[in-house]
């Protein structure tokens, strides 16, 4: 069921229920008021009759009947019977064509004990009233049919039924109009979203001021589209750069082999070609391995084996590893203080991935430093570790800093240096995979500083 139909149905059900309760209450309390009013009239009629019969001297039954006949307009289908304390009928009157309202001894006894009793027989209502006078007890039975009251109640019922059904219809129509107004902005957003595709991610949903919930939803969609657009642009650049980087060594290998096969060569020439091809294959292998590591580091940590890793032990492996890559590279470790508890040295993550991320940052620091030296310090904060990698190389330009963690991006200071521009991108993805963050600052006075924030193991699952 569509939202418009559900809103209309809910609106109709709620208002119809309210109408039903109100109409039922009006009819019920009107019926009670009619009954109360009619019983009061019967009570007064009974008191008047028995009072005239008992208290007024010189009045007889015939004169009392003539009085009752003159009051036919006030109460319809009236009958009055007066009994003495021996249950003998001392007076009776009934309108023409009306059967007297008879009661048995048990009803009379109940009326004497209670003082007053109301009963009903078919459409006629009666009051049985005990009336003490002159050391005697009289019992009056006055009955009548409330024609006017019941007719008015019937008219009220008709009015309420018409009001109820017309109100329900009006509510349904109003609900349709109301739901259309509510759903209209949603349809507008839906139609605008349908027009957006991967080739048209620059389009945005219109957001009105002041913002309501739908505008907040539209703003959320726009933020999502912005992230998707950035992701697609990064993906396109990544594919283009990866294709270029992969095709370059393949083209070089292919052309070298093709030229070599055109003529006979001596052993030294073949050795030179094989050495060049080997270098290209090694670069291609390194590029492929970097691309696989980036793919592994993309996404979530659900598929990655996580264990407790001592960050200081991981950092201590770097100096020897960097010396293997290039004897000119130097890594200085600065561990000024250590925490009292070993827990503050433990991070929850994948040791190989973390080592690869920090190694890539340190390798870049050594590669671009004037003295090929990287300085590493480890700081312990309340709930996370801070690894700082610093060098004294050339300052990274402001316009390069926002792109430096993107795949294959190489700044102005790195165009003459070997590499593919994947190390920092891989490091950034691995750090994010471990719910950490990496920050960069580069100035003439402090040099280039990479700050790596990693949560300690006991805080990892709270992030």
CA atoms of 423 and 403, how far apart (whole Å): 13
Specify the pLDDT at position 295: 60
Mean pLDDT, consecutive 10-residue segments, the chain of 463 residues?
A: 83 92 94 90 85 71 70 70 83 79 84 87 86 82 87 93 93 87 78 71 71 76 78 66 64 80 81 82 71 59 71 88 86 80 80 83 86 88 85 78 68 55 76 84 84 80 50
Place of tokens 């697609």: 232
Please give the pLDDT value at position 260: 80
Q: What pLDDT is recorded for position 244?
A: 56
Tell whether 313 and 291 lie within a shared domain.
Answer: no
Q: Are residues 119 and 9 in the same domain?
A: yes
- Half-sphere exposure at residue 392, Cβ-oriented, CA atoms within 13 angstroms: 9
Which of 277, 297, 317 finishes a domain?
297
On whether both 379 and 415 belong to a single domain, the answer is yes
What pLDDT, on a 0 to 100 scale, did the predictor assign at position 220?
Answer: 81
For residue 78, the model assigns a pLDDT of: 83
Q: Which of 270, 297, 324 is the last residue of a domain?
A: 297
* Cα 284 to Cα 425: distance, rounded to the nearest angstrom: 18
Kindly list the distances between the CA atom of residue 125 and the CA atoms of 71, 102, 115, in Å, as whole numbers in the listed order: 17, 12, 17
Which string of b and e fits 155-193 if b means at least 16 CB within 10 Å?
ebeeebeeebeebbeebbeebbeebeeebebeeebeeee
10 Å CB burial of residue 379 (0-12, 13-18, 19+) is: middle
Inside any domain, residue 205:
no
Domain shared by 458 and 313, yes or no = yes
DSSP state letters, 196-250: --TT-TT------SS--HHHHHHHHHHHHHHHHHHHHHHHHHHHHHHHHHHHHHH
**Predicted pLDDT at 154:** 92
The answer to whether residue 248 sits within a structural domain is: yes
Residue 97, domain member (yes or no): yes
327 and 349 in a single domain? The answer is yes
- Please report, for the domain that includes residue 429, its CATH number: 3.30.565.10
Are 42 and 109 members of one domain?
A: yes
Type and span of the H or E element at 90: strand 89-94
Domain boundary among 247, 273, 297: 297
Supply angle C-alpha 450, 454, 458, rounded to 5. Answer: 165
Q: Residue 439 belongs to what domain range? A: 307-462
State in Å, rounded, how far the first CA of the chain is from the last one: 39
The pLDDT value recorded for residue 155 is 94
Enclosing H/E stretch for 393: none
CATH number of the domain enclosing 147? 3.30.450.20
Q: How many domains does the chain have?
A: 3
My answer on whether 113 and 253 are in the same domain is no
Per DSSP, 343 falls in state G
Q: Is there a single domain that holds both residue 12 and residue 105?
A: yes
pLDDT computed for residue 459 by the predictor: 64
Any idea what the CATH number is for the domain that residue 252 is in? Answer: 1.10.287.130
Do the domain assignments include residue 174? Answer: no
pLDDT of 164 reads 93
Question: Long-range CB contacts (< 8 A, 24+ apart) of 362-366?
Answer: 362/318, 362/322, 362/331, 362/389, 363/322, 363/325, 363/329, 363/423, 364/423, 364/424, 365/389, 365/390, 365/391, 365/393, 365/448, 365/450, 366/322, 366/326, 366/329, 366/330, 366/331, 366/391
Is there a domain that residue 259 lies in? yes
456 and 313, same domain (yes or no): yes
Residue 334 maps to a domain: yes
In this structure, are 228 and 84 located in the same domain?
no
Contact 284, 250 (CB under 8 A): yes
Q: Tell me, yes or no, whether 369 lies in a domain.
A: yes
Same domain, 284 and 311: no
Q: Is residue 283 part of a domain?
A: yes
Verify that 269 and 333 share a domain, yes or no. Answer: no
């Amino acid at each position: 069921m569509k939202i418009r139909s559900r809103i209309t149905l809910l609106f109709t059900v709620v208002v119809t229920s309210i109408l039903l309760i109100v109409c039922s209450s009006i009819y019920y309390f009107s019926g009670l008021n009619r009954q109360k009013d009619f019983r009061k009239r019967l009570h007064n009629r009974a008191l008047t009759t028995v009072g005239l019969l008992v208290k007024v001297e010189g009045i007889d039954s015939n004169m009392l009947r003539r009085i009752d006949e003159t009051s036919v307009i006030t109460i319809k289908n009236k009958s009055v019977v007066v009994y003495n304390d021996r249950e003998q009928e001392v007076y009776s009157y009934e309108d023409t064509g009306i059967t007297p309202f008879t009661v048995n001894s048990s009803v009379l006894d109940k009326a004497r004990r209670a003082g007053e009793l109301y009963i009903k027989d078919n459409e006629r209502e009666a009051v049985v009233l005990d009336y003490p006078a002159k050391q005697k007890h009289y019992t009056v039975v006055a009955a009548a049919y409330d024609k006017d009251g019941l007719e008015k109640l019937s008219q009220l019922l008709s009015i309420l039924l018409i009001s109820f059904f017309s109100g329900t219809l009006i509510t349904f129509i109003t609900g349709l109009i109301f739901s259309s107004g509510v759903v209209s902005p949603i349809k507008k957003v839906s139609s605008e979203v349908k027009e957006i595709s991967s080739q048209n991610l620059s389009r945005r949903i219109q957001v009105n001021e002041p913002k309501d919930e739908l505008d907040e939803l539209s703003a959320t969609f726009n933020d999502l589209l912005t992230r998707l657009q950035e992701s697609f642009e990064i993906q396109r650049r990544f594919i283009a750069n990866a294709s270029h980087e992969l095709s370059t060594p393949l083209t070089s290998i292919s052309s070298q082999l093709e030229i070599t096969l055109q003529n006979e060569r001596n052993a030294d020439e073949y050795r030179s070609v094989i050495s060049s091809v080997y270098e290209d294959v090694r670069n291609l292998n390194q590029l492929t391995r970097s691309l696989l590591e980036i793919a592994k580091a993309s996404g979530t940590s659900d598929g990655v084996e996580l264990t407790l890793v001592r960050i200081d032990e991981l950092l201590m492996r770097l100096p020897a590893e960097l010396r293997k890559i290039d004897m000119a590279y130097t890594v200085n470790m600065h561990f000024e203080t250590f925490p009292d508890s070993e827990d503050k040295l433990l991070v929850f993550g994948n040791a190989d991935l973390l080592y690869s991320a920090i190694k890539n940052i340190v390798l870049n620091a050594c590669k671009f430093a004037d003295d090929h030296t990287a300085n590493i310090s480890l700081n312990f904060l309340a709930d996370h570790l801070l690894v700082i990698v610093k060098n004294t190389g050339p300052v990274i330009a402001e316009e390069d800093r926002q792109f430096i963690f993107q795949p294959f991006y190489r700044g102005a200071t790195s165009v003459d240096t070997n590499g593919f521009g994947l190390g920092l991108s891989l490091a950034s993805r691995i750090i994010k995979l471990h719910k950490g963050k990496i920050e960069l600052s580069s100035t003439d006075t402090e040099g280039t500083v990479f700050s790596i924030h990693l949560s300690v193991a006991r805080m990892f699952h709270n992030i």
